[in-house]
Structures are given as C-alpha cells and as structure tokens.
Amino acid sequence: MFAYILRKLLGLIPTFIGITLVAFFLIRLVPGDPVEIMSGEHQLTPAMHAEILQRFGLDRPLHEQYFDYLGKLVRGDLGQSLVSHEPVAKEFAALFPATVELAFAALLVATLLGLTLGIVASLKRGSWIDQGMMGLATVGYSMPVFWWGLILIMFFSVQLGWTPVSGRIAIEYDILPRSGLMLIDAALSDQPGAFRSAVLHLILPALVLGTVPMAVIARMTRSSMLEVLGDDYVRTARAKGLSPGRVVLVHALRNALIPVITVVGLQTGSLLAGAVLTETIFSWPGIGKWLIDSIGRRDYPVVQTGILVSATVFITVNLIVEVLYSVVNPRIRTEHTAQ
C-alpha cells in the first residue's frame, strides 16, 4: 500500500508543475494592464507607471517572475494582492470556509436526492417513474448553471419571496466569525433568527451547485442497484421472507454503494473547485467569486493562488478517493503493480 501511494504522489509532481505554469501564464494572456486597472480613474505618468511595475516586480522578464513565484511557493509564500496589498494567504483563509460550507451543503443535497432517485428508478425499472426520474437527471446534468440559478432566483426569491437573493446572512445580523462556517457561527450566536437566515441564504446556492452531481449520483446509483438486485444473495434474502425494505436497504444498497461512494468523492473535489459560477450568481463570498473578481482586476497573485488551490483540492480529493477505493478493492493495486 505504501509503495502504491508513493507512486501516486510522485506521479503528481509533473501535474503540479503544469498547474503552476497554467496559473502563472494564463492570467497574463488576458488583455489589460494591472497597473492601469489598479489606478482606476487616476492618471499615471510614465514614471509613476514604471515605478509601480518595478515595485511589484512586473517589469522583469516572465521567466524570472515565474521562477521567483516558484521559489516563494516552495517557501509557502503565496504573494501579496496587487489591489488590497494584503497577503494572499490571509484573504484565502478568510474566504475558503464559505466555499467549503457551500460545497458540502450542495453535496448533501446531491447525495440525498441522487440516492433517492436512483433507488426508486432501479426498483421501478422500465416504468414511467424510471423514465421520468432518469429524464430529470439528464436535464439536471445538461442544464447551464447560470441559467438554472437565475430561474430559481426569479421564482423563489422574486416571485414568491421565500429565499434571499444573495449573501450568506441578512445584513441586520452581526455574527462573530468563530469557525468561518456561517451555519455554525449563527447557531452559536445569541441572535434570534440568525440561524434561520443563514439556512435560507444557503438553500438556493446549494441546490444550484448540487444539481449536476445529483444527476451523476442518481444515474450511478440506478446502474449499480440494477446489477446488485439480480445477484443470488438478494434473491435468497427475498426467498427467506425478508421485508422488501430490508432487502433493498440492507442487502442490496450496502453492496451497491461502493461505486457510488467513488462518484460522491470525485464530485466533492469538483464542487470545491468549481463553485465559481454559483458564487458569482448569488454573490457568495467564497474563493470562486474572489477568483472572478481578481481576474477582472488583473490581480496576478490572487488568480495564481485561486487556480493553484482549486486544482490542488480537486487532485487531492481524487487521490484520497482512489486510495480508499484501492483499500476496498485490492485488485486495483495489483493491476497498477502489474503495469
């Protein structure tokens, strides 16, 4: 097992180098001068422009800037924001809990709905219920996130007035950031209605972000359940007179969950790394919105960190899932060793 994990970690080295190259050079391909964007409406003289470039090291050749970026990265220095002049690591630490909270709420929605749809569809195979649920999953998978988010806002927020449009909590609440997770901090506060407000602000973003993984989990659950329901031990359990619920939930579902757990783990990485559109639509103050705003401001250190961290989270979660899956199914390690 140790050798298997070590091979996986060594194989990630070229990937991380590639990520740093993309993170560093991609933002520099976007037209626009970061110094002019920073200055706003203030008119800069050529001397002032050159001085600011020199101060941030932007006047040096790109290869020198890249190797300086790598050197700082090895030391754990993510740089300083060109706009706020705050350490990027400090800004990231303040915003990342919001993305984690949204991602795990979306994962909870996706898992509960996906498992339910998949189980019911497998039990009603070939019926209109099966076709309707799988059709719903297909629509959810192919639906554009920004369109789906706007539709939900128009219906639930504008027309019905049930949910807020943006933010993490109503502006009348002043919540002390103890954990960074608004649900927990609001629950620990002594302000009546704070927790309810935090839940209402979370519902729509979590539903929008969880729609695509919900569809993936539903389809995987259905396929896995159909394979398991035809096995001998399931037929034996039914022949013994066990209740249908016990046969499905205890005997069939437990064995069908192995590939589903893998999909859920992979979707976790996708949610943490891909909440950009959802956070932008709902003005959710996480790293996704932070990254989009920084691209518009040409804030190179922030964009580099956002891309690097998002990709690292995605790869790390995938690696953990793959290692856990190899523990459950040792044949995977054997196949990799043979190769």
Q: For residue range 103-124, list pLDDT tens digits in order.
A: 889 999 999 998 888 888 888 8
Query: What's residue 326's pLDDT?
Result: 66
Give residue 207's pLDDT band: very low, low, confident or very high (50, 70, 90): very high
**Average pLDDT score over the chain:** 81
- Which residues are CB-contacts of 264 (< 8 A; sequence separation ≥ 6)? 107, 111, 213, 217
Q: What number of other Cβ atoms are within 10 A of residue 34's Cβ? A: 20
Structural domains of the chain, ranges and CATH numbers in brackets: 88-338 (1.10.3720.10)
Q: Are 333 and 326 in contact (CB under 8 A)?
A: yes
Report whether pLDDT(308) > 80.
Answer: yes
Report whether pLDDT(338) > 50.
Answer: no
Long-range CB contacts (< 8 A, 24+ apart) of 4-10? 4/323, 4/326, 4/333, 4/336, 4/337, 5/323, 7/336, 8/319, 8/322, 8/323, 9/319
pTM above 0.85, yes or no: no
Query: Between these two residues, 180 and 326, which has the higher pLDDT value?
Result: 180
Query: Between these two residues, 272 and 94, which has the higher pLDDT value?
Result: 94
Report whether pLDDT(217) > 80.
Answer: yes
Report whether pLDDT(336) > 60.
Answer: no
Q: What number of other Cβ atoms are within 10 A of residue 119's Cβ? A: 20
Q: What is the CA radius of gyration of the chain?
A: 24
Give residue 274's pLDDT band: very low, low, confident or very high (50, 70, 90): low
Nearest to 314 by CA among 252, 271, 285: 271
Give the span between the Cα atoms of 151 and 120, in whole angstroms.
27
In this structure, of 18-22, 81-85, 165-169, 228-232, the range with the lowest mean pLDDT score is 228-232
- Phi, psi for residue 31 in degrees, rounded to 5: -60, 150
3-state helix, strand, coil in the chain (%, to 5): 75, 0, 25
Query: What's residue 105's pLDDT?
Result: 92
Query: What's residue 205's pLDDT?
Result: 92
- Classify residue 156 by its DSSP letter: I
Query: What's residue 331's pLDDT?
Result: 52
- Which residues are CB-contacts of 24 (< 8 A; sequence separation ≥ 6)? 65, 66, 69, 304
Q: What is the mean pLDDT of residues 18-23?
A: 85
Report whether pLDDT(143) > 50.
Answer: yes
